[in-house]
Amino acid sequence: MRHYEIVFLVHPDQSEQVPGMVERYTASITGAGGTVHRFEDWGRRQLAYSINKIHKAHYILLNVECSGDVLEELTTTFRYNDAVLRSMVVRMDDAVTEESPIMKAENENRERKQRAERRQEEAATRTEDEPQAEDTGADDSDDIAEETEEN
């Protein structure tokens, strides 16, 4: 069996059906003795160019190990499924299991946002915990104003 990387784009109106589609595809792969090494749901993204007047699509990445018959069945399913806008299959030398650069960047951005939110929350709790200083400067200015009136 060979290793393949499969990327397919799903129509944005059919995004709710993506988990079911992926489940069917992985079941057909594992049912024939193959394995899914990596599954990444990249979510809804902007297309580089419009496809049938559609500007966004739901991206899915699969790294699988399967036979040629199963791969042919998957590509045929992609071809005749109206919800799948585009698909790409690339033969790989080895199984790829680490995160893709897109997912690494998304995870780093998510972690950065979480750290920034935590810092803001900590800063807010610090300012709430500090006692507020009383304004004594306003009283002094009143005294000075009274002295000038007396002269």
Residue-number span of the structural domain to which 35 is assigned: 2-97
Is 107 contained in some domain?
Answer: no
Count of structural domains, the chain: 1
Asked whether residue 126 is domain-assigned, the answer is: no
Tens-of-pLDDT digits for all 151 residues of the chain?
Answer: 889 999 999 999 988 888 999 999 999 999 988 888 989 888 898 999 988 898 999 999 999 998 889 999 999 999 998 999 999 999 988 777 777 778 778 888 888 888 888 888 888 887 877 665 555 555 555 555 555 555 5
DSSP one-letter string for 34-61: -EEEEEEEEEEEEEEEEETTEEEEEEEE
Q: Is the residue at 137 inside a domain?
A: no
Which CATH number covers residue 63?
3.30.70.60
Asked if residue 46 belongs to a domain, the reply is yes
Residue 34 forms part of a structural domain: yes
**DSSP summary character for residue 131:** P
Contact 86, 9 (CB under 8 A): yes
Reported pTM: 0.68
For residue 90, is it within any domain? yes
Is residue 125 a part of any domain in this protein?
A: no
